[in-house]
Amino acid sequence: MIYLNGQFMPIEEARVPVLDRGFIFGDGVYEVIPVYSRRPFRLREHLKRLQHSLDGIRLANPHSEDEWVRLIGELVERNEEEDQSLYLHVTRGVAKRDHAFPPGVAPTVFMMSNPLVTSTPELVESGVAVVSAVDNRWLRCDIKAIALLPNVLLRQLAVDAGAAETLLLRDGFLTEGAASNIFVVRDTVLLAPPKDNLMLPGITYDVILELAAAASLKTEVRRISEHEVRTAQELWLTSSTKEVLAITHLDDQPVADGRPGPLFRQMYPLYQDYKNTVMRK
Ligand code: PLP
C-alpha cells in the first residue's frame, strides 16, 4: 500500500502525470524514515528536516506535523512488515513546463513503505570498503532534494569498484558519503564534519553525536582534511537504513589494521541499545 495525494492504494494503481515537476525538473524533496516494530524512529526530527528542505526550495508544507504523524502512522499500519523503510516525497505539483514556480498548483505528496533491510551481523563484523571521489554536487546539500543525479553517479563509482559507498571530498575536506554521513576517529577523538550547506544533516549523525556525548567520548565537530581521513584510526558511515558501519578500506587501502576499531565496537551496541529503548517506550 502506498499513499498518493490523499488516498491509500496499491502501488500498481498509483499514477502521477508526466508533467509533474518532480519528473520534469526534479523539483521536490524527500525523507527516508526507518520504522522499527511499527514505530517510526526519530519521526519529529525527520519532519523537522522535511520542513527545512521545503523551506529551502520555497514550497509550502502541505501538512501540519500532526497530519504527517497521522498519515505516516496509517501507512505503517496498512503495510505488513514490522520493520519498514518509509519513503516520503513532496514535489511542486503538475504544471505546464516552465522553470518559474507555477501559481496555485497543489503539491504532489507520495509515500511508500518497503521492508527495512538493515546491515547484516557479518557486515557489522567485517566493515565495508569505500572509494573516494571529488564532491561535485551543488552548494545546497543540506536540502534533501529528489534531484539525485550527482549522488547516483557518485554511488555508481563505488558499485563499479565493488565497494559499498563513495566518500566525498570537496576542496581537500571531507563532506559526507553519496548517501550517508562519515565520521573519523583520530587519537581516540570522534571527529564529525560540521552541519553546513555542504552535507545533509543526518538524523543518524545526530544520534551518534548524542550517544558519544552520553558515553563521555571525546568529540569534535570541525572540518576534516583529506590527509586526516586517509590517516584515520577509524572511519564510520551512518544512515537511517545502514545505521552505523565501520569503513575498513578506503580506495583499496586498509583503515588502520583493516578491521572495525575499538570506538566502533563501543558505539555499535550503544546505537542498538538506544534504538531498542526508544522503541519500547
Ligand atoms: N547524506 C546523504 C547524502 C544521504 O542521502 C543520507 C541518507 O540517505 C545521509 C547523509 C544520512 O542521513 P540519515 O542519517 O538522516 O539517513
CATH code, 66? 3.30.470.10
| CATH number assigned to the domain comprising residue 127 | 3.20.10.10
> b/e map of 42-78 (b: 16 or more CB within 10 Å)?
bbeebbebbeebbeebebebbbeeeebeebbeebbee
What is the C-alpha to C-alpha distance for residues 91 and 167, in angstroms, rounded to an integer? 28
How far apart CA 135 and CA 230 sit, in angstroms, is 16
- With a Cβ cut-off of 6 Å, ligand 1 is lined by 32, 151, 176, 179-181, 200, 202-205, 238-240
Residues 165 and 266 in one domain: yes
Given 115, 147, 165, the domain boundary residue is 115
Examine the domain organization and report whether 105 and 148 are in the same domain: no
Ligand 1 centre distance from Cα of residue 211 (Å): 18
Say yes or no: 88 and 145 in one domain. Answer: no
CA distance 269 to 8: 37
The residue from 100, 115, 130 where one domain ends is 115
Closest residue by Cα to residue 207 from 36, 60, 3, 5: 36
Q: In angstroms, rounded to a whole number, what is the distance separating the alpha carbons of residues 138 and 132?
A: 18
**Nearest ligand 1 atom to alpha carbon 176:** 1
Distance 134 CA to ligand 1 centre (A): 18
Q: Are residues 173 and 99 in the same domain?
A: no
Tell me the pairing of strands 128-134 and 7-9: unpaired
Examine the fold and report which residue of 115, 135, 150 is the final residue of a domain before the chain moves on: 115
Q: What is the pLDDT of residue 278?
A: 86
- Same domain (yes/no): 57, 182: no
C-beta separation of 29 from 146 below 8 A: yes
Mutate to test the pocket of ligand 1, among 46, 181, 271 (most ligand atoms within 8 A of CB): 181
Question: Ligand 1, closest atom to CA 178?
Answer: 3
The verdict on ipTM greater than 0.95 is yes
177 and 168 Cβ atoms separated by less than 8 Å: yes
18 CA distance to ligand 1 middle (Å): 28
pLDDT of residue 280: 75
Of 149, 152, 155, 180, best ligand 1 pocket probe by most atoms within 8 Å of the beta carbon: 180
Q: Residues 236, 182: one domain?
A: yes
Q: How far is the CA of 179 from the centre of ligand 1 (A)?
A: 5
Surface-to-core class of residue 189, CB atoms within 10 Å of its CB (0-12 exposed, 13-18 middle, 19+ buried): middle
Does 60 share its domain with 133?
A: no
Q: How far apart are CA 155 and CA 128, in angstroms?
A: 14
Residue-number span of the structural domain to which 154 is assigned: 121-280
Cell digits for 141?
Answer: 546539500
Ligand 1 atom 9 nearest Cα: 180
Q: Name the residue among 149, 154, 161 with its Cα closest to residue 175.
A: 154
101, burial (CB in 10 Å: exposed 0-12, middle 13-18, buried 19+): middle
Q: What is the mean pLDDT of each successive set of 10 residues along the chain, which is 281 residues long?
A: 98 98 98 97 98 98 98 98 98 98 98 96 98 98 98 98 98 98 98 98 98 98 98 98 98 98 98 90 72
5 alpha carbon – ligand 1 mean position (Å): 25
Same domain flag for 83 and 151: no
Residues 105, 240 share a domain: no
CA 104 / ligand 1 centre spacing (Å): 32
Pick from 3, 232, 277, 23: which is nearest to 130 by CA? 232
Query: Ligand 1 atom closest to Cα of 46?
Result: 15
Catalytic residue (one of 48, 96, 144, 242): 144
* Structural domains in the chain (count): 2
Ligand 1 pocket: which of 239, 243, 271 to mutate (most atoms within 8 A of CB): 239
Q: Ligand 1, residue 204: give the atom nearest the CA.
A: 14
110 shares a domain with 135: no
Contacts of 227 (CB under 8 A, 6+ apart): none
Closest residue by Cα to residue 163 from 191, 115, 135, 123: 123
Q: Is 195 a catalytic residue?
A: no
255 and 132 belong to one structural domain:
yes
The pLDDT of residue 281: 72
For residue 34, CA distances in Å to 90, 142, 169 come to 18, 20, 27
Instruction: For residues 165 and 82, state if they share a domain.
Output: no
